[in-house]
């Protein structure tokens, strides 16, 4: 069923009829602005594309990257958003107000939403939430898995397309780093909960059972970040969670937060070992503060769409007025 739903023929058919529908609707109604959720998946990707072709303004909504926020962007989400390729100097110019900065770090962490597919209820059972009873290594790099067929991986991770390739790259890099620096660095992996019951990593675990790598499912992400030397991610929002703890972040994919000095983006994955010392260096605390400050108070809309209030509505309305 899932393979059929994602087959090229079905996707082309859905895109064709969605495009026709949105074209007809926009042409026959006084539309000034087209707002979509995410805008990458069908059918809403068609709505956004038709709007662009008809020279209508667009607005893309998504979960906010920080607690009690919502993404509202005229260009897109993730690696299509309006922050992509902003230079370090852009964030260096941000002026901080200590009271508001402190509020970012004092906020209650957002509950991570699962990117579950509608058919998952047919093939999986709710997972246990009991953390593994394990003693973590003294020194380790945290590898948060991502949903293997999510657009963040499929579209914005050109060098690594599977979690198996992610582990292979990290294990080779850390192994060579340990050899070069006579260190004892481990890797701790956490599976993405949205893949429970639909992606089997048992073969992957067996392949690396003799390497310095631990696979976990339920251990709390904030605790793994806090105990780690740093994280290696493709382009996950866990990278932003790590920055909230002022932990070093290495990215292997395309991300809007690939900013010089904020994170280390590795474009030659076979050279990862040479970049691992970045996780042992002191982070640029001021740059992290300024990035998070801009993200929270300038870029994101106030309030969560899940629990909207008057402040949230006013913030979203302000962003719409700026666009129109």
pLDDT at 127: 54
pLDDT at 9: 87
Evaluated on CA atoms 104, 110, 112, 115, the torsion sign reads: negative
Whether the Cβ atoms of residue 191 and residue 209 lie closer than 8 Å to each other: no
pLDDT at 43: 95
Distances (CA, A) of 201 to 61, 163, 183, 194, 240: 33, 9, 28, 13, 26
At CA 43, angle to CA 257 and CA 4, rounded to 5?
100
Maximum distance among all Cα pairs of the chain, rounded to whole angstroms = 69
Q: Which CATH superfamily is domain 120-292 in?
A: Glycogen Phosphorylase B; (3.40.50.2000)
Q: State pLDDT tens for residues 212-256.
A: 999 999 999 999 999 999 999 999 999 999 999 999 999 999 999
pLDDT at 10: 84
Give the residue from 253, 84, 60, 73 showing the smallest Cα distance to 155: 253
Reported confidence tier of residue 128, pLDDT bands at 50, 70, 90: low
Q: List % helix, strand, coil for the chain (3-state, nearest 5).
A: 45, 15, 45
Reported confidence tier of residue 133, pLDDT bands at 50, 70, 90: very high
Q: How far apart are the C-alpha atoms of 266 and 239, rounded to whole Å?
A: 14
Q: How far apart are the C-alpha atoms of 41 and 271, rounded to whole Å?
A: 33
Give the residue from 159, 148, 258 showing the smallest Cα distance to 193: 148
Mean of pLDDT values over 17-35: 97
Mean of pLDDT values over 187-213: 96
Reported confidence tier of residue 80, pLDDT bands at 50, 70, 90: very high
E-strand stretches of 49-176: 57-63, 69-73, 140-144
pLDDT at 109: 63
Q: State pLDDT tens for residues 256-281.
A: 999 999 999 999 999 999 999 999 99
Looking at every residue in the chain, the average pLDDT score rounds to 93
The domain locations on the chain are 2-85+303-323, 120-292
Q: State pLDDT tens for residues 36-63.
A: 999 999 999 999 999 999 999 999 999 9
Rg value, the chain, Cα:
21
For the chain, what percent of residues have pLDDT higher than 90?
87
Backbone angles phi, psi at 35, to 5 degrees: -105, 135
**pTM of the full structure:** 0.91
Whether the Cβ atoms of residue 35 and residue 58 lie closer than 8 Å to each other: yes
Residues with Cβ within 8 Å of residue 308, at least 6 apart in sequence: none
Q: State pLDDT tens for residues 100-123.
A: 999 999 996 654 444 454 444 444
pLDDT at 129: 74
């Amino acid at each position: 069923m899932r393979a059929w739903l994602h087959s090229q023929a079905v996707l082309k058919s859905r895109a064709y009829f969605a495009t026709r529908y949105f074209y007809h609707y926009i042409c026959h109604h006084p539309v000034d602005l087209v707002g979509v959720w995410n805008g990458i998946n069908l059918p809403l990707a068609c709505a956004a594309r038709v709007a662009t072709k008809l020279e209508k303004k667009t607005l893309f909504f998504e979960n906010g990257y920080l607690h009690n926020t919502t993404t509202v962007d005229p260009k897109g989400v993730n690696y299509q958003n309006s922050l992509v390729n902003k230079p370090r100097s852009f964030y260096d110019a941000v002026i901080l107000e200590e009271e508001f900065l402190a509020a970012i770090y004092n906020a209650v962490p957002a509950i991570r939403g699962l990117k579950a597919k509608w058919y998952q209820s047919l093939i999986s059972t709710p997972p246990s939430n009991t953390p593994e009873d394990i003693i973590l290594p003294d020194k380790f790099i945290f590898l948060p898995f991502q949903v293997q067929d999510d657009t963040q991986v499929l579209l914005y991770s050109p060098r690594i397309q599977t979690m198996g390739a992610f582990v292979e790259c990290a294990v080779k890099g850390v192994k060579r780093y340990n050899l070069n620096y006579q260190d004892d660095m481990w890797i701790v992996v956490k599976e993405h909960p949205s893949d429970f019951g639909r992606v089997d990593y048992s073969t992957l675990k067996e392949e690396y059972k003799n390497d310095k790598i631990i696979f976990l499912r339920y251990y709390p992400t904030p605790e793994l970040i806090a105990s780690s030397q740093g994280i290696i991610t493709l382009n996950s929002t866990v990278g932003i969670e790590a920055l909230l703890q002022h932990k070093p972040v290495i990215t292997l994919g395309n991300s809007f937060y690939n900013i010089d000095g904020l994170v280390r983006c590795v474009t030659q994955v076979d050279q990862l070992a040479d970049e691992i010392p970045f996780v042992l260096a002191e982070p640029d605390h001021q740059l992290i503060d300024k990035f998070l400050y801009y993200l929270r108070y300038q870029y994101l809309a106030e309030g969560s769409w899940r629990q909207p209030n008057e402040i949230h509505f006013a913030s979203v309305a302000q962003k719409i007025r700026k666009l129109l």
